[in-house]
């Protein structure tokens, strides 16, 4: 017979499916490789199985997690391309799965719908955007002349948007999930504050209300120029980047020159 035969109480030979029956009332050893023999005290087989499982446990989840993360990254890259070509509203989970080269069922193992994909992609892009504008608005840039300050500030911002066109689609498109819109509004407010800080350093005598208006105009000019830049490639793109910097320089230079002249003006003699 294939199952264990019990000849004496407490003495058990396990063959086939590794079942044990003895004085303790039928301990079952499962998960043991081979034809596990239970000859010691009750629980020895379980201990062996537990040891084997615990030794393997740390590696298996890591492998599964790595595979899962790789699949998520693959799906997000595909979603980025689909959002750019079709727009968020027209995009579908089937199109994203097809772009990723997987079945819709595989996609649904990680994301329940298109909105969840957009939120995850938006979170990642916003996180990288925060790092980018953090590098763009370094305090050391305030010590640079206006033209070089514009180079140091604008270059990383433009580069990020050109390398991640889905960012613009998700941040400024219609029918975008509200969570993304809220996060973007918070980032926009932070960036506006950074720009106002820079302007205050260059224009120390300018009233706060005017600083805010100038900062808003810079944002509008930058957004309009960025749309044109991203619509072109190669030499044309570089030419429009230069044009955007020229526009901003000519907008700001008269204010900076006036502020510099005012700061250099000698103070009137005391008593006059």
CA distance 115 to 119: 6
Look at residue 192 and tell me whether its pLDDT is greater than 60: yes
Q: 63: pLDDT confidence band, cut at 50, 70 and 90?
A: low
Look at residue 24 and tell me whether its pLDDT is greater than 80: no
If one compares 124 and 181, the residue with the highest pLDDT of the two is 124
Look at residue 15 and tell me whether its pLDDT is greater than 80: no
- Domains identified in the chain and CATH numbers: 6-31+38-56 (no CATH), 58-112 (1.10.10.60), 115-264 (1.10.357)
- Mark 82-95 as b/e (b = at least 16 C-beta within 10 Å): bbbeeebeebebeb
Average pLDDT, integer, range 86-107: 96
Decide: 214 and 255 in contact? Cβ < 8 Å: yes
For the chain, give the percent of residues with pLDDT over 70. 71
Over residues 144-187, the pLDDT tens digits come to 999 999 999 999 999 999 999 999 898 877 677 777 878 888 88
Q: Residue 165 burial by CB count (10 A; 0-12/13-18/19+): exposed, middle or buried?
A: middle
Residue 177, pLDDT score: 76
Going from the C-alpha of 98 to that of each of 79, 80, 84, 101, the distances in angstroms are 10, 13, 15, 5
Which residue, chain included where needed, has tokens 């407010």?
A: 189
Q: Residue 153 burial by CB count (10 A; 0-12/13-18/19+): exposed, middle or buried?
A: buried
Q: Which of 257, 256, 259, 252 is nearest to 205 (CA)?
A: 259
Look at residue 51 and tell me whether its pLDDT is greater than 60: no
Q: 66: pLDDT confidence band, cut at 50, 70 and 90?
A: confident
Residue 155, pLDDT score: 97
Find the angle CA(117)-CA(158)-CA(100) to the nearest 5 degrees. 30
Look at residue 76 and tell me whether its pLDDT is greater than 70: yes
Residue 269, pLDDT score: 53
Look at residue 226 and tell me whether its pLDDT is greater than 70: yes
Question: Would strands 6-8 and 11-12 be described as parallel, antiparallel, or unpaired?
Answer: antiparallel
Catalogue the long-range contacts made by 60-69 (C-beta closer than 8 Å, 24 or more residues apart): 68/110
Over residues 237-252, the pLDDT tens digits come to 999 999 999 999 999 9
pTM for the full predicted model: 0.70
Find the angle CA(64)-CA(69)-CA(70) to the nearest 5 degrees. 100
Decide: 27 and 20 in contact? Cβ < 8 Å: yes
Residues in the chain, overall count? 272
Look at residue 2 and tell me whether its pLDDT is greater than 80: no
Q: 260: pLDDT confidence band, cut at 50, 70 and 90?
A: low
Q: 270: pLDDT confidence band, cut at 50, 70 and 90?
A: low
- Computed over every residue of the chain, the mean pLDDT equals 79
CA distance 146 to 148: 6
Going from the C-alpha of 40 to that of each of 36, 46, 53, the distances in angstroms are 12, 11, 20
């Amino acid at each position: 017979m294939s199952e264990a035969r019990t000849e004496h109480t407490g003495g058990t030979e396990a063959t086939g499916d590794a079942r044990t029956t003895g004085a303790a009332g039928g301990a079952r050893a499962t998960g043991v490789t081979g034809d596990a023999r239970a000859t010691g005290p009750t629980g020895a087989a379980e201990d062996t199985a537990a040891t084997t499982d615990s030794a393997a446990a740390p590696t298996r989840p890591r492998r599964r997690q790595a595979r899962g993360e790789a699949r998520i990254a693959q799906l997000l890259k595909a979603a980025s391309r689909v959002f750019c070509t079709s727009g968020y509203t027209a995009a579908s989970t089937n199109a994203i799965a097809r772009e990723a080269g997987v079945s819709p069922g595989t996609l649904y193992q990680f994301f329940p719908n298109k909105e969840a994909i957009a939120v995850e992609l938006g979170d990642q892009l916003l996180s990288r955007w925060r790092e980018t504008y953090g590098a763009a608005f370094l305090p050391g840039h305030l010590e640079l002349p206006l033209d070089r300050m514009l180079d140091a500030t604008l270059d990383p911002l433009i580069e990020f948007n050109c390398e991640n066109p889905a960012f613009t689609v998700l941040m400024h498109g219609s029918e975008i999930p509200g969570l993304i819109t809220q996060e973007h509004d918070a980032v926009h407010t932070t960036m506006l504050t950074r720009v106002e800080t820079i302007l205050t350093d260059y224009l120390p005598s300018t009233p706060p209300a005017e600083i805010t208006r100038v900062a808003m105009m810079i944002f509008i000019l930058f957004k309009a120029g960025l749309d044109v830049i991203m619509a072109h490639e190669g030499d044309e793109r570089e030419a429009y980047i230069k044009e955007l910097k020229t526009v901003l320089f000519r907008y700001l230079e008269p204010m900076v020159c006036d502020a510099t002249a005012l700061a250099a003006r000698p103070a009137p003699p005391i008593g006059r």
